[in-house]
Every structure is written in structure tokens, then in C-alpha cells.
Chain A
Amino acid sequence: MPLFQIARSLAELPDEEVDAGALRAEACLTRFPGMRWTRSYYDAAARLVTSYYEAESQEQIREHARAAQIPCDAVIEVTELVPDSYR
């Protein structure tokens, strides 16, 4: 399953939206079999969440974000590099 990096800007949204959005994102995953949330990072200063999901396509990522009512500003396919491979 391809891995995608998603940028989500929370600039205009209330503080609790960081966690509330995560709650809805997880809830909506039941609609997308095979899609998996692997990790997210929140930059509080920039009010930007960077998420990593395994999904079939960019379209599926955008559809999931729309279903969960969470921002989805940019989606790019990425490759994971893990330290174990270089030790």
C-alpha cells in the first residue's frame, strides 16, 4: 500500500480541532478498508499537522479528509526510510 504525507493547516480552526480532527479521522477510517493512519506530527507554532497514511491513492486521502471534515492542503506520495536499514 503506498504511503502518503499530508499537510493539514489548522490556522483558522479552534485549538481542540487538533485532537477532534484526529478523532473524526480515525472514526471515518472504517469507511476506507485497507487505509491506515500511521503517524502524525503537530507543529504548534505553525498550526500545521503533517500526517502519514497508507492508502490506495491521493484521491482516497482527499476523500477521507472530506468525510472527516479535516483539512487536506497537500498530498504527496513518499517512501519510508527506517534506521534499521542502514545499521
Chain B
Amino acid sequence: MQDLGEAGFVEHLNREVHGLAGRLHSASTLDVNFLAYLRHFSRFGYFSLGPITIDVNLIEDVVERTAVPSEELDAADDYVRFSRLVVQEVRRSGRKRIDELHYLFAFMRCNEGLPGRVFGELGVKPEEVEAYLKRTGGAVSEPLERLMSPEEVAEYLRVNVQTVRSWIRSGKLAARRVAGLRALRVRFADVVELLKPIGEHG
């Protein structure tokens, strides 16, 4: 067997799945793996990537309510099918090492369980995510130093772009001008700073 899953994202995810399955007394189901994946990449309770925004707390509630108690933490049948989809994604991409996009696209294509329902309702296709990533150079785990335009910040935060521009004018959100141009750019890290959980604002 190829050593596709050497240390890295998959190992971290596996630990999270193990912890979750143990806490829920559930087998390693597709839903548990989906929740572990979303939690791994969530910021302030949301998984957000281009056209995808998922309330991770809501998913956690659903998984906690629907998890079927099992004494064995074994791989469930739906996870077995999912693992084959991940491998198909790896082959499709031409890369050898499994990464977070292979998992995401496998969740998007699996058409069963919670991921099937969530992506069915969102109506987002893997091709749209690929196009977004090509256009923005983003990743599932957004590098904090990534630069965003005010429009991208507005899309990410689900607010009007005029709101973002007013934050920049008032100094609430730090921005820089591209030399010789009117274009403004904002560090992703500064955008994340705006997302304080309720109760932390002064």
C-alpha cells in the first residue's frame, strides 16, 4: 500500500476523529469524519472557503443528536465508501500526498449522510471551489499573510463592501495601498481579528 497518509493533515484529522468518536461513543462514520474536518479548519465556529460557509456548531449539534451509539469505534460502511472517494480525488488531482482539498471534494461528491445534505443544500460544486481557489490563490487553511481586496473581505465576512471600506477609512481595519495604484489590500490576519466571539467585544 502506498504511504499516502504520512504525518500531516491526515494524522491530525485522524486524532480529531478518534477523540470525537470516543466522546460520542460512535463508530468512525462519515458524519463524524465530516465534523472533525470542519472543526479542524473552522474559525470562530464557521468553515468558510469561497462559495462555502458552514456553521460548524450546527453540524456538531446534528452529529451529537444523530450519532448511533456503538461500543466499537470501527470504520463504518459509509466511511469505507468515503475513503474510496478520497483516493479517487487523489488520483484525479495527480498528486500523491493526501491533502485537505481531496477530503473536501470527496465530501462534496459523496451524496450521502450529512455532507450530502449540506452540499446538496448549498448547491456548490467542487469545480466552483477550484475556480475560486485559482482566482484567489486561497487554500482551505487560509494563510494569515494572504492579501485580500475589500470585495473579497466583504464576501468572506458576508457584509457589504461599503461596510468594509468604511472600516478601512475609520482605521478599524488596517489596509495598504498597492504602490502607484488605488487598489487596497488587507491582510487575512487583520480580517480574522474582526471576528471576535460574542461577549469579547469591549
Q: Return the chain B residue nearest A42 by Cβ.
A: B1
User: In the bound complex, do residue B10 and residue A20 qualify as a contact, i.e. CB atoms below 8 Å apart?
Assistant: no
Known contacts A18-B2, A29-B14; 9 additional CB pairs below 8 A are A16-B84, A16-B91, A22-B1, A26-B5, A40-B1, A42-B2, A49-B1, A66-B74, A69-B75
User: In the bound complex, do residue B86 and residue A28 qualify as a contact, i.e. CB atoms below 8 Å apart?
Assistant: no
- Asked if A76 lies at the interface with its beta carbon under 8 angstroms from chain B, I say no
Seen from chain B, the residues whose Cβ lies within 8 Å of a Cβ on chain A are 1-5, 10-11, 14-15, 17-18, 28, 72-75, 77, 79-80, 83-84, 86-88, 90-91, 98
**Interchain CB contact (< 8 A) of A16 among B11, B73, B75, B87:** B87
Which residues of chain B are within 8 angstroms of A74 by Cβ–Cβ distance?
none
- Asked if A87 lies at the interface with its beta carbon under 8 angstroms from chain B, I say no
User: In the bound complex, do residue B72 and residue A23 qualify as a contact, i.e. CB atoms below 8 Å apart?
Assistant: no
User: In the bound complex, do residue A28 and residue B74 qualify as a contact, i.e. CB atoms below 8 Å apart?
Assistant: yes
Which 5 A-B residue pairings sit nearest by Cβ, starting from the closest? A22-B1, A30-B18, A20-B83, A40-B1, A67-B74
User: In the bound complex, do residue B74 and residue A23 qualify as a contact, i.e. CB atoms below 8 Å apart?
Assistant: no
User: In the bound complex, do residue B80 and residue A23 qualify as a contact, i.e. CB atoms below 8 Å apart?
Assistant: no
User: In the bound complex, do residue B80 and residue A69 qualify as a contact, i.e. CB atoms below 8 Å apart?
Assistant: yes
Interface size on A, residues (CB 8 A): 25
How many A-B contacts at CB < 8 Å in the complex? 74
User: In the bound complex, do residue A20 and residue B14 qualify as a contact, i.e. CB atoms below 8 Å apart?
Assistant: no
For the complex, give the distance between the alpha carbons of A27 and B1 in Å: 14
Dominant secondary structure at the A interface: helix
User: In the bound complex, do residue B74 and residue A69 qualify as a contact, i.e. CB atoms below 8 Å apart?
Assistant: yes
- Asked if A58 lies at the interface with its beta carbon under 8 angstroms from chain B, I say no
Which residues of chain B are within 8 angstroms of A68 by Cβ–Cβ distance?
74-75
User: In the bound complex, do residue A24 and residue B4 qualify as a contact, i.e. CB atoms below 8 Å apart?
Assistant: no
User: In the bound complex, do residue B72 and residue A67 qualify as a contact, i.e. CB atoms below 8 Å apart?
Assistant: yes
For the complex, give the distance between the alpha carbons of A37 and B72 in Å: 21
Which residues of chain B are within 8 angstroms of A30 by Cβ–Cβ distance?
14-15, 17-18
User: In the bound complex, do residue A16 and residue B88 qualify as a contact, i.e. CB atoms below 8 Å apart?
Assistant: yes
User: In the bound complex, do residue A31 and residue B18 qualify as a contact, i.e. CB atoms below 8 Å apart?
Assistant: yes
